[in-house]
Chains A and B, each alone.
Chain A
């Protein structure tokens, strides 16, 4: 016990004497909270649109004007030249082109077939999908009104029906993307502290040689690892609590569920990440290797956890790999407890899985740590 305590003391002394590490611990969360919520946003808020109007009638004018009412579309004028419109699309000046054919109004009034052509830059598929969807909705809405006003139907039965959609938003009434990304930052924060900082810490002792002086003592390897772990575990928890504070004070997001439950599961998740960090550092020879492995795993974890990209579109095998991804379970827990106010029953599966991972990873870390080299 005394051995572990002195090791913890040593680690804390070293952390508090390292201005760079300290500033990373404090500055990194601040920077992330300042940048991520504003930038890491998939929501399409702006769509640049241009109209090619071969008709120039009052109907086409009206349709074009109905785009003005939308918050999302930024009209880039009406042109008559298709080449010019394509040039604008190619140079990313516009995302969407709407083209009205000749005699559009006339054909419409006479009941002749006529069509409006929408062209979208589909390199960004989300943007194209949503852009085309909105464009269709606006034009469709206008056409509905137009028909009601201008066309006389032979009988009531033949009057076209209109199916409207109304939306109700649950679990995030303000429709705030920040509500997802801010808890996500918490996940990134504890992962970085847990895995990155600890992995580099141990491998640095290897690189500068201090670990040899420890290895020549009769200390047990689990004692050494626990002595290393507890300080970073405490730092990780402190970082997490700081994060919850910022989330509440700056973004006004309150944890909907039980905070002790959230802290408890975070503690388990941190153990998984710490163990992983130590495992990586004991198998790598220098900081460069450790860093690359951690970075690689980190990117995969983030990618598969669904923080930045939807996991719904992934193939089956990727979902299977995800069963090995502690971050995706933890992400799930955070979403449920912070945003939906779920209770322990709803997160018990994740809790059990994370606990099993913690035991396995830490056993692996202790076993792989070599005090005697071969």
Chain B
């Protein structure tokens, strides 16, 4: 125990000497969460669109009015031909064009049926599908209003309820993801790289010659970064709750316990990386490829998991991030308790146990 304390002391001295790195490690999470929180939004406001109105009658005007009064669109041009639309897409950066057919009004009145054409720039499919959805809702609105004006109103209606996030805040999605990313960056990346640095510069050999148990050297490396990442996590949670109004419906203590368990998993992964890599570049690349990338891509934090090919859905299960994000969302947003999330906790803890035992084996082999 005394040995461990010595190693810890040495590690903290290193950390506090390299002030710039410490500052980077502490400031980066805050900057990232603020940036993500303020900039990432899957809602689109005032998308630039063009409207080609072939009929120019009172109903088409009413429809255009409906489009521009919605928050979604900003009509930047009224082209006369479809070739002009192409030009608008390429030069004027419009995201969508709407073509109102000839005789719009008379089609509505006589045939009770008309078709509005939507031209999507699907080189960005995300934006296109979000905008299509907006167009749909504007058209539905227009149709209902028109019908109400000629009949006695619809007897039938649909109500919608947005459960867990009635204001549709994008931040609900991103905060759990950012917490995960930061914990991985700080705990796994930092500890594996600093261990690799000691190998690269040869100081590791000096430590291993001393009677200090190897496992203490490794644990001593990992604990300080767990502490730093724990501080960062608390800061992120505070920012997301107070600045971004992220709910905290579950127990705060349970949330912190969850974070500690995930940190253990991340740290044990860092340990494993450091036992197999010899240079800082190695450690960094393995962490990036083996942990960072899967966290961004396969955790369900940015991209819907169940839309992916089966191989990747299965693959996602072996990375800790997916389980942690599920658990943290449940606790923060849905207010789940231990009985709801214990399976995730068990998986994370099990992963930590596996990683630690493999790295211990690897360390023994070196003896």
Contact = CB atoms under 8 A, between A and B. Distances in A.
> Would you call the interface of chain B mostly helix, strand, loop, or mixed?
helix
Interface residues of B, number: 106
B312 A129 contact: no
Contacts of A127: 304
Interface string B20-56: 1100110010011001101111111111000000000
Given A38-B312, A310-B130, A180 B123 contact: yes
Interface string A1-30: 000000000000000000011001000100
A70 interface: no
B160 A309 contact: no
B130 A40 contact: no
A38 to B, nearest CB: 5
A168 B150 contact: no
Given A173-B122, A292-B24, 5 more contacts: A172-B125, A180-B125, A286-B21, A291-B284, A300-B35
A121 B168 CA distance: 10
A310 B126 CA distance: 7
A128 interface: yes
B77 interface: no
Interface string B121-161: 11111111110110111011011001100110001111111
Most buried by B among A21, A44, A166, A336: A166
A114 B156 contact: yes
Interface stretch (A217-225, A232-240, A311-319, A364-372): A311-319
25 contacts: A35-B293, A44-B304, A89-B163, A115-B157, A115-B158, A123-B165, A124-B304, A125-B43, A125-B165, A129-B42, A133-B137, A161-B109, A161-B114, A162-B114, A167-B118, A170-B119, A180-B123, A284-B20, A285-B18, A286-B18, A289-B21, A310-B42, A313-B40, A313-B44, A339-B123
A114 B159 CA distance: 10
B358 interface: no
B39 A160 contact: no
B48 to A, nearest CB: 9
A210 to B, nearest CB: 14
Contacts of B114: 161-164
Given A108-B156, A292-B24, A171 B121 contact: yes
B39 A318 contact: yes
A164 B41 contact: no
B281 interface: yes
A163 B66 CA distance: 14
A121 B164 contact: yes
Contacts of A168: 117-120
B129 A43 contact: yes
Interface stretch (A137-145, A243-251, A264-272): A137-145
Q: Which of B114, B165, B326 has the most CB of A within 10 A?
A: B165
Nearest to B124: A180
A253 to B, nearest CB: 11
* 5 interchain residue pairs of minimum CB distance: A313-B41, A122-B162, A45-B307, A122-B165, A312-B44
A314 B160 contact: no
A163 B109 CA distance: 11
B282 to A, nearest CB: 6
A342 B89 CA distance: 11
A24 B288 CA distance: 11
A46 B285 CA distance: 33
A310 B159 CA distance: 28
Nearest to A200: B281
A111 interface: yes
A39 interface: yes
A113 B155 contact: yes
Contact of A114 (B20, B42, B155): B155
B308 interface: yes
A288 to B, nearest CB: 6
B1 interface: no
A323 interface: no
B361 interface: no
B113 interface: yes
Given A44-B307, A129-B130, A160-B151, A312 B95 contact: yes
Contacts of B282: 20
A320 to B, nearest CB: 11
